[in-house]
Structure 1
Amino acid sequence: MADVVQEAPDPLQPPKPKFGKQQIIASILTLIVLVIVFVVVLPQFGDYSAAWEAIQNMTAWQLGLIAAATVGLIILYVFPYSAAMPGLRFKDGFYTRQTSFMISNVIPGGGAWGLAVQYGMLSSYGYGPAPTTAVIGITSVWNTLVTLSLPLLAIIGLTITGQTGAEDVAITVVAAILVVLMVGGLALILRSEALARRIGGWGNAVVRWGAGIIHKEVSFDAAEALVDFRVSIIDVVADRWILITAANVGQQLAQFSILYLAVVALQGGFDGPITLAEAFAAFALGRLATFIPIPPGGLGTTDAIITSMLAGFGMSQDDALAATLVWRAFTYFPQVIIGVITLLLWRHDSAKKALSS
């Protein structure tokens, strides 16, 4: 498949933030959730001072390995974009991904803003509407599919190691159903325009039914939206779905590696109470909290799930809390800081181009 053809920059720019009523409510809710999680919930699993003492006892080599894994994660974070957009320059993808990460994971309800910023940045770099829409759509869908698949893979791992229970089987069934429905639905949408339109028609019926209950009129047409979505991604997905899947799985595993290295360091080695399968199960279920829009990026909610599961699997409560805090510190703050820098650099470059044109 030919590389993406550079087109004239699209005039669309990211919308200027409007701190209205919804944003104020989202910010208040985020603050409440964060206070509850970090002040009330997490201290139930471990003591912050004891956790900090455990972190301070980590060796320079252990922290160095975690830092190296973090660098790997930051680099790999561009790969889902590169896989879905042939010809994408690394710098363009890096700036766009890091900036959108910062916005989506810092601003309450910032997911929609993050999408708009991605479109605006790629357009400013000269990529046309078609490849820009395709890469954003593909990356969003594949990230959702992989995240939903993680619990299923985790239960399989626990089953192989003989560590499953009745509740794990229930989680497996639910996860398997969700994954099959999403993969099957995507396959049908890509198979033909008629099927995409039919599935969209079913979606319209559900939307109208829901709108009728709350006495609202809805103008959104799911059928046309699905057809447009299919047209925008079908060529790239047909040629590169294996590469796209591998890139998204690799990104998730890179993030997990940071948690596992922290767990191994804090429990004193690989023969500690937490196995690889158990650590992955805690990570996989914690990742599901990222679908909750408040707080952004699963901040706090993901941490509570991971900490509780590590403690439930037998890790010291203080060490479980310490491992989660290390994981959060290395996967969140570096990319947020880099995202602020890439946003400023992009704005500087855009202003420079505007002055020279």
Structure 2
Amino acid sequence: MAPGGEGIDQRRPWWRTALQAVLGTGLAIALLAWGLPHFAETSWAALLAHLDALSWANIIGLFVLMLAALWCYTFTLTGSLAGLTHPQALMVNVAGSAAGNLLPGGGAMGAAATYGMYRSWGFTPRDISTSLIVSGVWNVLGRMALPVLGISVLLLAGEPMPPGVARGAAVGALVGLGLLGWFVAVIASERVATTTGRLLDRVIGPLVRRVRRRPGQGVDALVADLRARIGHVVETGWVSMTFGMIGFFGFQYALFVLCLRATGVHLSLAHFFAAFAIGRLLTAVGVTPGGVGVTEAGTAIALVGFGAAHAPAAAGIVLFTIYTHLLELPLGALGGLVWWLTKGRYAGRRPATSRPRPPTHPQTTQAEPPAHITPPGPAETTKSDPPGR
């Protein structure tokens, strides 16, 4: 046996992944089948009656809004990875989100799909790692900012605010500010970056070393190298990434409002936005695939608390989930198929980039690290709340 147990395949047993999938999917089904009508104080019969009344014009119009939201997110991806085209970003978005929606906390699966597609197009492991981290942080910050905006909108509109909404906004604000402070500190301070790298190496380094087959950089060295790259990407791509997040959440909010209006819910736009913000924050709860069930139950509680009619509110929530979660599965399969059929065109090519490359960290002047060394980062934790959700 090799020292340190390197000769042993210590990958996670398949039955644990299968058990996680079964339990998470079962919980999601239970929360949807029982929790949603329970918290909305209605029944599935009443809920389905409102869905049956939808016209084809409603269905097609809502689908167009969903596509617009997905296209906007491509600006976040292209801003985080120089040389990535918008059609490529759309394929990555739908395929990665679909993969991440298959398992509870499916961020690793979504990140793996994204990584494989990027590599097939010729992007380097370091650039991919930087993109995953930066786009992941941008995604989390956007979701954490929504409850703060929601409570602000309610206050400005003079609408009543349930205590639960206020508590959710406070939690979102604190977590978001903490993440933003850490992110800025890592970029601005070499000491913070080094400390973060050492902590990550201590916590997740053993996990990385379980799956790699030859010596490579530690997580701390990668973090030190990524610091310069992250700062460069943020400096050159923050406008595109921010525009993408605003457009993505903007179209999703419009989709949320129109889904509820189509099923007969009549509330103020301020109340709609507060409920939407709570739902987007709850997608980060990775106990079910894509946060399904948890998100719908929490959104139902908020809408009913704001005075929405019970059955129409539950029907609108289900309709929104169909567009933001279920339809992403066939779209992801289609995106994966298109990638598989066209990836040969990019074999051996290096993507064109209009950005100057940042200086390489002195500790990492060797050639690009092998593809199997991809440091887990915020992207892996945020992919459990995939963009489409």
Q: CA deviation at 1:225?
A: 5.0
Residue 270 of structure 2, aligned match among 274, 277, 283:
277
Per-residue CA deviation, residues 104-139 of structure 1 (Å, 9 max, x unaligned), is: 012344210211121111110112223222221111
Query: Does residue 315 in structure 1 map to residue 308 in structure 2?
Result: yes
Residue 110 of structure 1, aligned match among 106, 109, 122:
106
1:151, 1:350 → 2: CA distance? 40
Amino acid at match of 1:132: I
Tell me, what secondary structure is at the counterpart of 1:153? Answer: helix
Residue 335 of structure 1, aligned match among 328, 332, 336:
328
Q: CA deviation at 1:222?
A: 6.5
| Contact in 1 for aligned 2:122/2:346 (Cα 8 Å) | no
Q: Look up the match of 1:123.
A: 119
Query: What is the RMSD of the two structures over their aligned residues, measured on CA atoms?
Result: 2.7
| Contact in 2 for aligned 1:26/1:109 (Cα 8 Å) | no
| Contact in 1 for aligned 2:66/2:255 (Cα 8 Å) | yes
2:68, 2:198 → 1: CA distance? 43
Q: CA deviation at 1:202?
A: 6.6
| Contact in 2 for aligned 1:84/1:244 (Cα 8 Å) | yes
Higher relative contact order (CA 8 A, sep 6+): 2
Give the total of aligned pairs. 322
Q: CA deviation at 1:167?
A: 4.5
Tell me, what secondary structure is at the counterpart of 1:296? Answer: coil
Query: Does residue 88 in structure 1 map to residue 84 in structure 2?
Result: yes
User: Structure 1 residues 161, 222: CA separation in 2 closer, same or farther (over 3 Å shift)?
Assistant: farther
| Unpaired stretches in structure 1, ≥5 consecutive residues | 1-16, 209-219
2:12, 2:18 → 1: CA distance? 10
Q: CA deviation at 1:200?
A: 4.5
Tell me, what secondary structure is at the counterpart of 1:106? Answer: coil
Residue 189 of structure 1, aligned match among 186, 190, 195:
186
Q: Look up the match of 2:18.
A: 24
Tell me, what secondary structure is at the counterpart of 2:119? Answer: helix
Amino acid at match of 1:177: L
2:345, 2:197 → 1: CA distance? 44
Q: Look up the match of 2:283.
A: 290
1:173, 1:308 → 2: CA distance? 18
Residue 340 of structure 2, aligned match among 347, 350, 355:
347
1:242, 1:90 → 2: CA distance? 16
Q: CA deviation at 1:194?
A: 2.5
Amino acid at match of 2:334: I
Between Structure 1 and Structure 2, the one with more helix by share is 1
Q: Look up the match of 1:176.
A: 173
1:302, 1:253 → 2: CA distance? 18
Q: Look up the match of 2:66.
A: 70
Residue 249 of structure 2, aligned match among 247, 252, 257:
252
| Contact in 1 for aligned 2:187/2:193 (Cα 8 Å) | yes
| Contact in 2 for aligned 1:41/1:304 (Cα 8 Å) | yes
1:84, 1:70 → 2: CA distance? 22
Query: Does residue 231 in structure 1 map to residue 228 in structure 2?
Result: yes
Q: CA deviation at 1:291?
A: 1.9
User: Structure 1 residues 297, 122: CA separation in 2 closer, same or farther (over 3 Å shift)?
Assistant: same
User: Structure 1 residues 201, 109: CA separation in 2 closer, same or farther (over 3 Å shift)?
Assistant: closer
Query: Does residue 304 in structure 1 map to residue 297 in structure 2?
Result: yes
Q: CA deviation at 1:228?
A: 3.6
Q: CA deviation at 1:264?
A: 2.0
